[in-house]
Every structure is written in C-alpha cells, then in structure tokens.
Structure 1
Amino acid sequence: MSRRSNSARPRRSPNATEPAAETTSRTRTIAAALALVAAGGLVIAAVVLTGGKDSDSGRTGDSTPVASDANAQFRELAKLARRDQQDPLALGSVNAPVVMIEYSDFQCSFCRLFTENTEPALIEKYVEAGALRIEWRNFPIFGAESADAARAAWAAGQQGKFWEFRKAVYDSTPKKNSGTLTPDKLAEFAELAGVPDMARFRADQSSDAARTALRTDTNEGFDLGITSTPAFLINGRPVLGAQQVEQFVAIIEAAQQSAMRDGGKDLGK
C-alpha cells in the first residue's frame, strides 16, 4: 500500500466547491465508518458481511451496537457509487448488486500490482457475470506527474480507451516523480492504448472538464480520509491496500448476499 506523508498532502483547489450540509453530514458518517474499520480492521467488515456471527459467544454481531452502526454507515458509503451508464472509467453493469470503488494513483506500485495480479480475476469471475461493477476514481497523491497522468487517463476515457491507457501506463512501471510521465510520454501511452484522435486527446487532457473531473474524484477521496493507495469501497465496506484476491472474493460474495437479502439497501437505495 503506497502512502504519502501527511505534510505532503495536496490541498484542495481554491476553485473547489465547498460541501453543502448534506455532504458535510455524509463526511461525518464516512469518518465514523472508517474509524470503525481502523479500530477493527477487516475483521469488522467480515463480521458484518457474513451476518455478524460470533462463534465464541453464540450471539450475532448484528445484535451489537458496533455491527448495527457499521451496517448503517456502510450503506451511507455505498451511496458514493455513481452507477452512470456513460462513465468511461467504469466496468460492469450499472445494475450489478456490488460496486467496488477504486481510488488509485498512476505512480503507485501497489495499485499496479493490484491491477496486474488481483483485478483480472475479479473481472473474469464477477464483472463478466454481472455481479460486480468497478468504478475508478483518480486519486493522484504523489504530485504533479500523478495529476498529469490522471488527466491524460480521463482524456483517453473520453474516446473509450481509459482501461487500455491505464494498462499502458502500469506496464511501463513508472517510478515516482522521476520525470517519466511527461506530456509526450503520456501521448505515447495514448497511442499505445489505441486512442484514435490524438488532437482531441491533447485538448481534452488540458481542458477545464478534465480538471473538474479530477478535482471531484480527489475531493471525494479527501472526504473519505484516504491517505494511501490503493483504497476501495465495496458496497461501502472500506478495504485498504492491495489485499490478496481471496479477501476481495470473500467481501464481494458476502456483499452480494447482503445486497440481495436486504433488497437493495446495500446499494444506497
């Protein structure tokens, strides 16, 4: 899991919109949910997802205040899923019972490892079956090169080549802030990805729309309190770091069962 120092945390753009009361309330809920996960790690998520059975006491976790609060907070976090049919930075059906939001940086080595070693299995097993939707969020925490790559990825996405562009960048294993991700190099990645209109790509890359999209994703990560990448929300359940595929499988399957059992509550409906 790649982590940035607190002192190096990027500031919000002065043009960013201040949160409304509803967003502020959601931020408090998000912070509480993340605090629960930080206190109990993935164990809390696993307890809630599997129905909260406590084998030592014989009681169900759902009967405890912690599990009840966590369920409510996870449902609130699940509302961050956009489920936009036109989103080029997403894979899978908008009606999938499980949405995994992925916050990543193009200079993050652990993000690259996740995309190479774990995500393909999740796509084959769940996305292609209609059970999982993956929504990418650009979260460039390592500086200007990360932000430039994020805008370039967004621009590639406007021509339907985001995922191919992402692969091209990660295949190159760029070192952090080494001067590798220059505008010309990013254009090379776009060409490798098959972006058909390079003039449009360059225009989109430097557009206000690209900056707005990046700011929206970044501010969402800031509101969540994310300080390292990759970070995930799986139907609202926070997962930090490039965990083993078995852990993602367990959480996805349990989230799917929970969503079906609760009639869509886990989807933030």
Structure 2
Amino acid sequence: MNDYRPIAVVALVAFASLAFAGSALAQSAIAANVAKPGSLPEIAIGSAKAPVTITEYSSMSCPHCAAFSQNVLPMLRSKYIDTGKVRFVFREFPLDIKAAAASILARCAGKGDSEKYLSAVETLFKLQERLMAQTKDTLIYVGKLHGMSEQEVETCEKDQAQFDKLTADQQYAYSELKVTSTPTFFLNGVRLQGSMSFEELEERLKPLLKK
C-alpha cells in the first residue's frame, strides 16, 4: 500500500494546481467582463494603474448603498483611492423606476464628469427618503443644486435613449455578471454581495495590495 502513496500525493497536488489555475482563469474572465465598457460612459475615480479595481453596482433606492456612499466611500477614498492604490468604478443597477430616474438625473448633472456625477449621487443618497416619497420634486431640487434648471431636469428625464442605455447595462450586469441585488461589489473580479463596513472592505483589500 505504501508504494502507491507518493503517486496519490502527486496526483492530488496536480489536481489542486489545476483547480487553482482554473479558479484563477475564471476570476480573470469575470474581471475582464466587469471591465467591458457599457452603453453609458464609465464613472470612475482613482488611478487607472491602481493594482485593485473596486466596481460597485448600486441603486439610488437602496439604503445599504446610501450607507456605503456616506460612511465607507469617504474613508476608502482618502486611504486608498486618492493614494493610487484603488480605482473605484460606480455602476447603476436601479431596483425601481425612481432609482432609474435618479440615475439619469445624475448623468445629466455630471455631463460626463465622474466627480460631478458622484457629487449628485451623494446628494441623492442623502435625500433618499425624500426621493422615494416625492420623486419629481426631489429630482428638480437636486438638479437645481447642481446647476440645472427645472426645464433641463424635465428634458433630462424624458431622454428615452439614456433610459434604454441604462437598461442595457443593467441587463448585461444581470445576465453576464450575475448581479441580482445591491450593493454588489467586484474586487478584481471577485464578486461580493451585500453591505460592508470599511473594516470588512479593508480586510478584503489588503491581501490584493500585497500581491
């Protein structure tokens, strides 16, 4: 029996190596799919050369997403994004029509500038309860805070092409990336679902930054 043990061990090691390689390839493929440009312009902050990319799928009607924006993102930004260690990508995954309308407003307010867009998103999250209860009035109010007239807000919200692009990006996230809820995060291709504290996120980050 002893004669067969080395062969068995070698076989197990080889199998483990293949399994690990397969897992790494799968993760790499997911990361590539996450990185594919969507129909809407990319919203990203931080260095394109950062070793870690965090992609968040978020809904303006999601309380956990609002909590992440207000409590976690500022610390993530100061410690990792602004220091060139992390690139942060924000993606819309509206869970309802109110969230979709808010996303489109942020797009119009941002005018292609990621910082302006995220500033509008931050305002919308702070006013989330009001947005859900008085959607139209809140959209007009937030639009004005970000330099838009009431007419510009109304024109923005009637832009069906933008809504179609938003829907296409959401469908891709659902079918190809298996995003089904918010917030969903991808850390270099590893999918994480649900709310996270800064400490929990940092624990996930540190091993990736050591590689």
Q: TM-score, normalised by structure 1?
A: 0.63
- Is 1:147 the counterpart of 2:88? The answer is no
Gap change, CA 1:82 and 1:205, over 3 Å in 2: farther
Root mean square deviation of aligned Cα: 2.9
Alpha-carbon distance between aligned partners in 2 of 1:206 and 1:256, rounded to the nearest angstrom: 43
The equivalent of 1:134 in structure 2 is: 88
Which of the numbers 132, 140, 143 marks the counterpart of 1:190? 143
Give the number of the structure whose residues are more often helix, by fraction: 2
Which of the numbers 149, 152, 163 marks the counterpart of 1:211? 163
The equivalent of 2:208 in structure 1 is: 255
The equivalent of 2:127 in structure 1 is: 172
Could you tell me how far 1:247 is from its partner in structure 2?
Answer: 2.3
Between the two proteins, what is the percent identity of the paired residues?
24
1:131-180 superposed Cα distances (whole Å, 9 cap, x missing partner): 11111111011x2111111211222221632111111111113278x442
Larger radius of gyration: 2
The equivalent of 2:47 in structure 1 is: 93
The equivalent of 1:266 in structure 2 is: none
Gap change, CA 1:121 and 1:159, over 3 Å in 2: same
The equivalent of 1:72 in structure 2 is: 25
Q: Is the 8 A contact 2:98 2:135 kept in 1?
A: yes
Q: Is the 8 A contact 1:100 1:232 kept in 2?
A: yes
Alpha-carbon distance between aligned partners in 2 of 1:246 and 1:83, rounded to the nearest angstrom: 30
Could you tell me how far 1:64 is from its partner in structure 2?
Answer: 5.0
Q: Is the 8 A contact 1:81 1:135 kept in 2?
A: no
Could you tell me how far 1:235 is from its partner in structure 2?
Answer: 0.7
Gap change, CA 1:149 and 1:214, over 3 Å in 2: same
Q: Which runs of 5+ in 1 are unaligned?
A: 1-58, 259-269
- Is 1:236 the counterpart of 2:189? The answer is yes
Q: Is the 8 A contact 1:88 1:158 kept in 2?
A: no
Corresponding pairs, count: 194
Alpha-carbon distance between aligned partners in 1 of 2:110 and 2:59, rounded to the nearest angstrom: 16
Q: Which runs of 5+ in 2 are unaligned?
A: 1-11
Alpha-carbon distance between aligned partners in 2 of 1:173 and 1:208, rounded to the nearest angstrom: 23
Q: TM-score, normalised by structure 2?
A: 0.79
Alpha-carbon distance between aligned partners in 2 of 1:253 and 1:189, rounded to the nearest angstrom: 37
The equivalent of 1:125 in structure 2 is: 79
